[in-house]
Amino acid sequence: MRTDYSLRQHSLLYRQRAGNVKGTYGFVQKGMAVRDCRWPGNDEMYWDIAKYRQILRKRYQETAFPPCMHLPVCDILIFGQLWQRAFCRHWHTSPDIIRSDSSMKKIAIITSGGDAPGMNAAITAIVKAAARRGIECIGIKRGFNGLLTISADNQKDLQYFDLETVLDNADRPGTQLRTARCDDFRKPEYQKKGADNLRALGVDAVVVIGGDGSFQGALRLVEQGIPCVGIPGTIDNDLAFTEMTLGYETAVQVCTEAIRDIRATSRSHNRPHVVECMGRHCGDVALKAACATGAEIVLVPEVKWDIETVAQRLCYQIRKENPRATIVIAEGCWDSMMPFDAYSYLNPRGKKFREDDKINASFLASILQRKCIDILGLNEGSPDRYHDEGDELAVRSTVVGYTQRGRMPVAKDSAFAFEAGHLAVSLLCKGYSGQVIGTRHGRVFHMDMADALKEKRTFRHDLYDLVNDIRE
């Protein structure tokens, strides 16, 4: 349908298709009253300026505007006429909806890998941002596993979202879509099957929330022609391109509270304590929690360490009248431990240990207890004491565990999820693909996903040295 708009006041004849009277997200401006222009009663509606600016300015050269009139003023007058003559007649949508020029109709959301606090908040933000643009959102359950099973006939792993379904979801921990790891998706035939399943459901783009493995899966979908945007969701904070990931701040808070409670009971009994935090390949959670609680020793996967040195540090604390020192370790710190024959050391000293036993926090506590007894010249179980008050040397251990993943997200994680979710939908509507969202200097940004995964993560050795009191 073609409609003529005659702007007689300025001798400008402008022809415009009614179907083009739409807003483009990212280039919208709010209507306001302009002198000499009659505006509709509702000034909360949006219109696209970028779309018409080039055409109007070209036409401006052909009009009879006074030479002294400033060009932006000219634009405002023309937009005022277009608003009155076009938008009031052909805008049939709700004022709070911003239409997109893209053909985006349906977005799928996938949460993959380990769950992290803030994933539900990100899902909520994506659904709300999509709803404002009239885009449908669906969720795929069980990560990429669900992607391989969904179809028009089998929708067990599908969840349809609307504003009501996510109304009270943002503050909930975990992910309502469930999550899992999928080794099959590494194979090309399964990657093609996943992309075909998405096309069969009419999905135009995918938002993947997860870690580096999840983003590798997203890149495979991009290679299959499915636009994807990634949001980092992992408590480990092990992605180099971003300062924080969803769930990291919450995990640090959980560990900090746990260590504070443990230090309180350690004071009551005057005994050291080993506390294990999550972090298979990255020690950021353990390091930050150690800094926040005043722990005396921290062990992480990024730095080599040995049992003898740790025992000497603990004995140093005991001699300084600090028999309740706290040793914070990351779950992956064993990868950086120097070789130690625990079997030969523990068994003669009354601790049964098999060569195939798993090394864990309890193992470290047993080793340190017996090492310190040897270094301090004490005999375990004898009247000999290591403290004036008569306390026996006993090192205990605690694993913080999955409570780090199951806590309600703290404000910083929720705020990042909100911004990242809205930016993800915005990028897809603008035609971006293969992008990942991160945060730097407190602001969200996006970059190429493949380039982001190539970046090398840096570890805060300065903080590590401060906690362990290592001096130059």
Query: Of 47, 63, 90, which residue constitutes the final position of a domain?
Result: 90
Tens of pLDDT, residue by residue over 154-172, are: 889 999 999 988 988 999 9
Pair 83, 158 in one domain: no
Q: Which residues are catalytic?
A: 236
Average pLDDT over residues 373-394: 63
Q: Are residues 112 and 85 in the same domain?
A: no
Asked if 261 and 396 sit in the same domain, the reply is: yes
- pLDDT 10s digits, 438-461: 999 989 999 999 999 999 999 999
Range of the domain at 432: 106-247+409-454
Higher pLDDT, 328 or 349: 328
Here the CATH number for the domain that contains residue 203 is 3.40.50.450
Give pLDDT, residue 352. 67
Mean pLDDT of 164-186: 90
Whether residues 186 and 260 fall in one domain: no
CB neighbours of residue 258 within 10 Å: 20
First to last CA, the chain: 77
User: Among 96-110, 223-237, 246-260, 307-321, which is the least confidently predicted range?
Assistant: 96-110
Contact between 262 and 387 under an 8 Å Cβ cutoff? The reply is: no
Distance CA 78, CA 55 (A): 11
Number of domains in the chain: 3
Identify which has the larger pLDDT, 397 or 55: 397
Give me the mean pLDDT over the 113-130 stretch.
Answer: 96
Judge whether residue 388 has pLDDT over 90: no
* Whether the predicted pLDDT of 178 surpasses 60: yes
Q: Strand 205-210 vs strand 106-111: parallel, antiparallel, or unpaired? A: parallel
Per-residue pLDDT tens digits for 235-291: 999 999 999 999 999 999 999 999 999 999 998 888 999 999 999 999 999 999 999
Mean pLDDT, to the nearest integer, of 350-359? 68
Q: Look at residue 28 and tell me whether its pLDDT is greater than 50.
A: no
Domain assignment of residue 434, yes or no? yes
206 DSSP β-pair partners: 108, 228
- 161 and 42 in a single domain? The answer is no
Tell me what pLDDT residue 378 has: 74
Q: What is the pLDDT of residue 411?
A: 96
Q: Are residues 162 and 209 in the same domain?
A: yes
- Assess if residue 253 is contained within a domain: yes
Question: Do both 183 and 263 map to the same domain?
Answer: no
What the block records as the tokens of 472 is: 């130059």
Mean pLDDT of 137-144: 95
Q: Are residues 24 and 86 in the same domain?
A: yes
110 and 189 co-located in one domain: yes
Q: Are residues 143 and 153 located together in one domain of the fold?
A: yes
**DSSP helix/strand/coil, 6:** strand
Instruction: Tell me what percent of the residues of the chain surpass a pLDDT of 70.
Output: 72
Does residue 31 register a pLDDT over 80? no
- CA-nearest of 417, 405, 452 to 113 is 405
Residues 270 and 344 in one domain: yes
Q: Is residue 78 part of a domain?
A: yes
CATH number of the structural domain spanning residue 278: 3.40.50.460
Stretch 20-46: mean pLDDT: 37
Per-residue pLDDT at 57 exceeds 50: no
Q: Which of 62-71, 194-203, 406-415 has the lowest mean pLDDT?
A: 62-71
Same domain as 397, residue 419: no
Q: How confident is the model at residue 102 (pLDDT cuts 50, 70, 90)?
A: low
DSSP line for 393-445: P--EEEE-GGGGTSSPPPHHHHHHHHHHHHHHHHHHHTT--SEEEEEETTEEE
- Per DSSP, helices labelled H in 133-232 are 144-147, 188-200, 212-223
Per DSSP, the three-state class of 45 is coil
| DSSP per-residue letters across 60-105 | HTTS---TTS-HHHHHHHHHHHHIIIIIHHH--S-TT----SS---
Residue 163 in domain: yes
Residue 268: CB atoms within 10 Å: 8
Q: How far lies 415's CA from each of 209, 326, 395, 419, in Å?
A: 15, 32, 40, 6
